[in-house]
Chains A and B, each alone.
Chain A
Amino acid sequence: MPEIILRDRVVADPWQVLRPEAGAAPELPAGPVLVPLATWLDQADALVGRGDAGVWIASHEDPATLRAWLDRLPLVAVDFPKFTDGRGYSIGHLLRTRYGYRGELRAIGDVLPDQLDYLRRVGFDAYAVRADKDIRDALRLLTTFSEPYQNSWEPPLPAFRRVARGQVTELPR
């Protein structure tokens, strides 16, 4: 079974990501499944009833369309078609801070270890690190910057509201 990082641990992952061919009617497999946004919006009532169905959003899609379902979704994933496509960061941030989503928020697609710190900070808590990368080595990159300047989902306050600024201490290390 594939592995993902969930919060700060590597765990086995049972979820299948359904990526139907364009124009093809998706066939839903048994077991936990992540369906495309269009499929979800099409069959939301049935899928909610399943209990083991979640949704994935493409980077060009609007997370606001999911608002009505967010308190009943066990898992929302955001797809990164290329790791340099930064739209997913804004999508994740909006799902958490604007639309109040509190379930698992997972980054899928071209997810590389050097993105994890940024992904965590905008609100992601699960990371389907690309299969060719060492997922255990990636764990140590979850927190690259211990005291960031900005507010985001994490930390919710900027440095100037969070810590006493202006103190000079010795350089770490």
Chain B
Amino acid sequence: MYVYDQVDRTIVAERVAQYRDQLRRFQAGTLSEDEFRPLRLQNGLYIQKHAPMLRVAIPYGLLSSTQLRKLATIARKYDRGYAHFTTRQNIQYNWPRLEDTGDILADLASVEMHAIQTSGNCVRNITSDEFAGIAPDEILDPRPMAEILRQWSTFHPEFAFLPRKFKIAVSAAAEDRAATAFHDIGLHLEKDDSGGIRVRVLVGGGMGRTPIVGVVIREDLPWEHTLTYVEAILRVYNRHGRRDNMYKARIKILVKALGPDEFARQVEEEWVHLKDGAGLLTREEYDRVAAYFVAPAYATLPSVDAAQESRLADDAPFRRWVGRAVRPHRVPGYRAVVLSLKPTGVPPGDVTADQMDRIADWAERFGFGELRVSHEQNVILPDVRLSDLHVLWQEARAHGLATANQGLLTDIICCPGGDFCSLANAKSIPIAEAVQRRFDDLDYLHDIGEINLNISGCMNSCGHHHAGHIGILGVDKDGAEWYQVSIGGADGSSAGRGRSAIGKVIGPSFAADAMPEVIARLIETYLALRTDGERFIDVVERTGIAPFKTRVYATPVASSQPAEEAADA
């Protein structure tokens, strides 16, 4: 993975000093709350319901075992012994003390980590494919470009006070595992006929109040122009994006207002001035960064392991886990293992300090000391030998990390919601748990098959509900919590056959205690309609939402909450 040089180290050290000084001035009263807020947000620090929340960047979801141990230490030293992986490959601490945040940043800096631009109206953490470098369908490794973009966007002087937050994702495989169409900028890296890298540029995707699937504004951009092209996009956005209404300030609204063609024209017009300037990437710099991502020293292994085959045949629970947790690897004899952070009863994405330590150990014993974090809020051991899978499974079971639900209904993407987040309109974690409890039969869960259930506690859509095959959105109506259900969303991954789509709302909202039954009715409808091999999302695509809507609203769903008076469509 990337290792900091003197430039990176100096910047992160200067950031810690800058933040300590800002915190000191805030505590001394010379920085007002309104003045400090944007500064602390650009450092990932929110003031939440119970305590501050600190969001730490995990660039493109890549972690070392050393870094994960430090995250565990921070969880014990400054928090309550756990942390939460987010849908943008970051990690959050829910209970730090404001006065400790400078020390936390210093601890992070000691392992080449930071919280820079994990919030605020600036360019956020660059996200990418959690299987980068190991996926069989990879065209090329997206991480060098993601790292180059990380550096370019870090403290960019012109783009620190954008109209609104700005998210960039990079993908370079046949399957889009980074939800690029739901980002302000999505970059697809491809190879041209002569082996050079070309970039497809999408803009204007996003979730939130106005969900939009991004559109392609440029094909075949030569790789060395990536930074200048992104700069051109950001300059057009910074100058012309709306600032009068925060709900209309994302770039997607500007792209929609101008039309993609006109937006692209303005970007090209701006880019003409930049394209061969100082921001033009050099081969030397690309190669320097790419050298940190060369494949580790894989052993030459047989592609089939006899002992593994016999365990698979004999051990049904192991077989079931392998069927969900283990993913293909480009090197024979190796597999990627997705550790589910979605056992029933644990907030999705939460991990304890002890679990972090164990995972760090496994990354070293069963790999090369690296880990990945996915936007589905799970942790991946990228380089596990086939022959180690059984031992790993047994140990993972002992630590609550062997749930075999990856990609299934209970592998729920979920934001922290109203239990923690001051932006939330409704709780999301208890809904996830209630659905998990309703669907606790593993055989039934496996029979239902691949499906994405995503839950957000408010319109900010951190739980990616718009892109869920089933999406749940918490809404507030006259002080009560209600849940709006949509179906047919898809995040661009193979789970939804590569489509990127916004889910359609099926009808009026439900009370919290009705949600397990509502999900059950959706699933029953699917099971009754499906033909061989059809997933939930396929049936929705084929039939539309009508049969689902009919079934769900056929009879009232029992609830102890008084019925909603103003039914929304």
Contact = CB atoms under 8 A, between A and B. Distances in A.
Interface in B1-42: 3-7, 9-11, 13-15, 17-18, 22, 30-31, 35, 38-39
Nearest to A155: B278
A169 B6 CA distance: 6
28 contacts: A85-B243, A86-B158, A86-B159, A86-B161, A86-B162, A86-B238, A87-B239, A89-B161, A90-B239, A117-B157, A118-B160, A122-B157, A122-B158, A145-B15, A147-B11, A148-B11, A149-B7, A152-B157, A156-B278, A160-B282, A160-B284, A165-B7, A165-B285, A166-B288, A171-B13, A171-B109, A172-B9, A172-B13
A118 B13 contact: no
A144 B157 contact: no
A167 B5 contact: yes
Nearest to B158: A89
B11 A93 contact: no
Interface stretch (B148-156, B294-302, B431-439): B148-156
Interface in A114-173: 114, 117-119, 121-122, 133-134, 144-152, 156-161, 163, 165-169, 171-173
B235 A90 contact: yes
Nearest to B122: A86
A84 interface: yes
B121 A84 contact: yes
Contacts of A83: 35, 38, 161
Given A86-B159, A90-B238, 13 more contacts: A84-B121, A87-B238, A90-B235, A117-B157, A145-B15, A147-B6, A148-B155, A149-B11, A150-B152, A158-B279, A171-B109, A172-B14, A173-B13
Contacts, number: 122
Given A90-B239, A148-B155, A159-B151, A173 B17 contact: yes
A163 B159 CA distance: 23
A116 B557 CA distance: 58
A152 B22 CA distance: 25
Nearest to B234: A90
Nearest to B282: A160
B273 interface: yes
- Chain A interface mostly helix, strand, loop or mixed? loop
A112 interface: yes
Contact of A171 (B9, B160, B161): B9
A98 interface: yes
Nearest to B243: A85
Given A89-B158, A160-B282, A114 B10 contact: no
Interface of A: 83-87, 89-91, 93, 98, 112, 114, 117-119, 121-122, 133-134, 144-152, 156-161, 163, 165-169, 171-173
Shortest 7 CB-CB contacts between residues of A and residues of B? A86-B161, A160-B285, A121-B157, A118-B157, A151-B278, A89-B158, A149-B151
B152 A149 contact: yes
Contacts of A90: 158, 235, 238-239
Contacts of B162: 86
- The interface centre, meaning the residue of A146, A150, A156, A165 with most chain B CB atoms within 10 A of its CB, is A150
B19 to A, nearest CB: 10
A86 to B, nearest CB: 3
Interface string B223-246: 000010000000100110001000
Contacts of A119: 157
Contacts of A86: 121, 158-163, 238
A165 B5 contact: yes
